[in-house]
Each structure stands twice: as structure tokens, then as C-alpha cells.
Amino acid sequence: MRKNIVLIGMPGCGKTAVGRILAQLLDLPLVDTDELVERAAGATIPEIFAAEGELAFRDRETAAARQAAGLEGTVIATGGGMVLRPENMEALGATGVIFFRDRALEAIIGEDHSGRPLVGSQPDKLKKLYTERIELYRKYAQYTISNTDTAQAAAEQIAALYEQEARV
């Protein structure tokens, strides 16, 4: 069974962007857990937060984690809050190698966060999320990708580590 590649990290660190490049580089399918949630709900992430609240979103995210963990040989981009529930990470870690994309907070703050209800246009919220979550990202990461270059460079680093892992 070929393991999945699971990408974790702060909202805006590039999980989705790096995931797309990785899937092309390795010729593997890509699944974004936010997309699984949106498809199951028939609504966008901001709509789900507005209509049902964060807890309902987290329940949907846990269902998406279980679904994604059932795949193999797939690049899985998660939402930034996936690490908040240990059961999510147990499920994803059982069938995947976990990579933490540790992009500099200043660079993350510079991105467009309009589609992220927990962040919006307030950098202070991102700083708070970072403080609350950094230990969780570190705890669950098998590998940390800290280069702050391009998404392409991060994807190449992850691809090399994954192929090395597959040879062990």
C-alpha cells in the first residue's frame, strides 16, 4: 500500500498550492479536505461557518479526515485546523506521511485571507492561531518544511523526502 502525503500547517502557508504542485510532480491524485467538506455540505467554507458555526464545520472536517485517510497514494491538503482534534491526526497518520509546511508568519500574513472566516483581514487573528497551534503542528509533523522560498521548492523537498521514505 502506498502511503498518502498529508500536508498540515497554518491557513495560508500553502498546503493547497504546494499540494497541487506535488500531485503533478509525483503524478498522484490530490484531495483537499476543505473541498471534501464543501462537496458534502453543498456549500462553501464561509457559508458553512455562517450557517452552522465552527463546531459543525469541525465535525464535517473530521468526517473528511476519515474519508481521506481511507485513500492511498494520494496527496492530502488539509485545512489549517485539522490538528485541533487528535482523532483526525490519528486517522490521517495511520495511512500517510505528515509534512508540516512551516512558512514564515509574516509571509502568511501577506496572503489574501478573504475566504477564511477565522482569519479574514485581521493579522492579529493569525498571530493568535499561530500561538495556539504551533505546538500541535510540530507534534504531528514527521517532517517540517521550513524553506520560505517558493511553493515549487517546498513541493520538491517534500517529493524527495516521500520517495526516500518509500524506499526504506
Ligand X SMILES: Nc1ncnc2c1ncn2[C@@H]1O[C@H](COP(=O)(O)OP(=O)(O)O)[C@@H](O)[C@H]1O
Ligand Y SMILES: O=C(O)C1=C[C@@H](OP(=O)(O)O)[C@@H](O)[C@H](O)C1
11 binds ligand X (CB under 6 A): yes
Distance in Å, CB of 90 to ligand Y, minimum: 19
Q: Give yes or no for residue 33 binding Mg ion (CB under 5 A).
A: no
Q: Which is nearer to ligand Y, 65 or 97 (CB)?
A: 65
Asked if 81 touches ligand X (CB under 6 A), the answer is no
Tell me if 76 contacts ligand X by CB under 6 A: no
Provide CB contacts within 8 A for 47, sequence distance 6+: 41
Cα dist. 85→61, 104, 158 in Å?
10, 24, 24
H or E segment to which residue 7 belongs: strand 4-8
Q: How far apart are CA 107 and CA 2, in angstroms?
A: 33
Part in contact with ligand X (CB under 6 A); list of ranges 14-22, 44-52, 61-69, 129-137: 14-22
- 95 part of the interface to ligand X, by CB under 6 A: no
- 158's contact among ligand X, ligand Y, Mg ion, none, with CB below 5 to 8 A by partner kind, is none
> Do the Cβ atoms of 103 and 17 come closer than 8 Å?
no
